[in-house]
Amino acid sequence: MASKPILAGYRIIDFTQYLAGPSATRLMAEMGADIIKVEMAPFGDPSRAFPYRKNKRSAYYVQQNRGKKSLCVDLKDARSKEVIRDLIRQCDVLIENYAPGVIERLGFGWEVVRELNPKLVMCSISAFGQTGPLSHLSGFDYIAQAYAGVTSVIGEPDRPPSLPMLAIGDVTTGVHAACALGFALLDVHRTGVGQHLDISLLDCYFHHHEVNVQAYSASGGAMVPRRAGSHHYAVAPTGIFRGPEGYIMILALLHQWPVLCKAMGREDLITDERFKTNELRVANQKALIALIEDWLQSFPSDAAAIAALQAVRVPVAPILTVAQAVAHPHHRARGTVRTVSDRMLGEFDIPGMPLRFSNHPELPSLQAPLLGEHNAEILTGLLGYGAAQVAELEQGGVLVSAAH
């Protein structure tokens, strides 16, 4: 018999929108949590309008919100606030990613919700956090990235900084939030008391600095992180090399450098004064890159060069396009790419569930909600409202729904 999903029995009231917050509750929905997504009337989560769209349905929204229930309410109406208060009393978690101060102005700040439900864990996601000189500012992924010193090191050294074409900060902030919620729910189990979690894009982005911060600080500013284009400024050889057909990623770190030299048939480079240490290899990186790229050109194809390096366990990879990554058999076999079926969009591919549990190997088949699809179900089934009460709220514009 299949065991219950790992988060079965946990109910989450989800005030999140766009990407960072929905990324957290997306993971929790996959693990069986009951996610009640509160959407602001009349349009709901703004990401419902994001491309790609078909039949007024957004693939972006569907990807982030599968398995959630939609409660669409006019939060300016006092009657909706009573609905939310009733719901908070029935939930284990409240998560929101409004700008700091918004949830308080709506009447659901931490001091209020902890009185309604002392065991509730509240998670607030924002660009800069709930405290500090920047906390009053609004922001999205790229804004936090810029403040974290990350954008400054992306791109060519003689060109302006560049943007990565994916929302690294939003998604990893959502993952950090989901992780923190798991810890906090464990703490509730131990203590019987909830708490408020403050998760910021800036903090999560800054946490990605595996080299830059400590190297700059410990060296007294002598080691300055900088844009270095296709190759790492601090470790060599590490970067993107021109192959016989396209580009190849190679990371020959420390002990792997002699292995690469032997694979190239150039054991003399191991003792070459220009390349004896990592620091020397960085200082002489232009010559080093030329040597490696000249060797790569001796192969009939990128695949042949990659196979030669894989045979001696030098970390190497082709630079795949998104289309190539989606079609790759490894990604398909592991579910890294997942084909889902939406009632309005049909079948399409999304990034799969990145967490795998041996006791819960099967993932549920989930649908993203239509706007306000579960209004009546939540109010009658969970909160005990009568059909007449629900009809009155619908007629009064407190509850809103739409077929997309």
Give the residue-averaged pLDDT of 25-51: 97
Indicate if 264 and 364 belong to the same structural domain.
no
Indicate if 273 and 342 belong to the same structural domain.
no
Last residue of a domain, which of 286, 318, 350? 318
Tokens of 244: 């016989």
Segment (H or E) for 390:
helix 387-395
| CB half-sphere exposure, 361, CA atoms < 13 A | 3
Asked if the model's pLDDT at residue 139 lies above 80, the reply is yes
pLDDT tens digit sequence for 40-88:
999 999 999 999 999 999 999 999 999 999 999 999 999 999 999 999 9
CA triple 309-314-315, angle to 5 deg: 105
Last residue of a domain, which of 318, 348, 369? 318
Which of left, alpha, beta for 107 (phi over 0: left; psi -120 to 50: alpha)?
left
- Diameter over CA atoms, the chain: 85
- Report DSSP state, residue 137: -
275: CATH = 3.30.1540.10
pLDDT tens digit sequence for 227-238:
999 999 999 999
Indicate if 65 and 109 belong to the same structural domain.
yes
Indicate if 179 and 278 belong to the same structural domain.
no
Give the mean pLDDT of the chain. Answer: 97
Structural domains counted in the chain = 2
Indicate if 101 and 165 belong to the same structural domain.
yes
In this predicted structure, what is the pLDDT of residue 241? 99
Cα–Cα distance for residue pair 317/344, rounded to 1 Å: 37
Asked if the model's pLDDT at residue 374 lies above 80, the reply is yes
In this predicted structure, what is the pLDDT of residue 363? 79
Indicate if 118 and 186 belong to the same structural domain.
yes
Which residues are known catalytic residues? 170
pLDDT tens digit sequence for 107-133:
999 999 999 999 999 999 999 999 999
Flag whether 377 is in a domain.
yes
> Of 23-27, 301-305, 355-359, which range is least confident?
355-359
Residue 224: Cβ within 10 Å count: 11
Which of left, alpha, beta for 39 (phi over 0: left; psi -120 to 50: alpha)?
beta
Flag whether 245 is in a domain.
yes
Flag whether 80 is in a domain.
yes
In this predicted structure, what is the pLDDT of residue 38? 99
Indicate if 167 and 245 belong to the same structural domain.
no
Which of left, alpha, beta for 256 (phi over 0: left; psi -120 to 50: alpha)?
alpha
Indicate if 292 and 351 belong to the same structural domain.
no
81: CATH = 3.40.50.10540
pLDDT tens digit sequence for 165-213:
999 999 999 999 999 999 999 999 999 999 999 999 999 999 999 999 9
Give me the residue label for tokens 């790492």.
Answer: 232
Number of H helices, E strands in the chain: 17, 13
Indicate if 88 and 196 belong to the same structural domain.
yes
Confidence of residue 385 (pLDDT cuts 50, 70, 90): very high
Domain housing 96: 11-207+331-395
Tokens of 272: 């070459």
Indicate if 245 and 267 belong to the same structural domain.
yes
Indicate if 166 and 272 belong to the same structural domain.
no
Last residue of a domain, which of 288, 318, 348? 318
Indicate if 304 and 370 belong to the same structural domain.
no
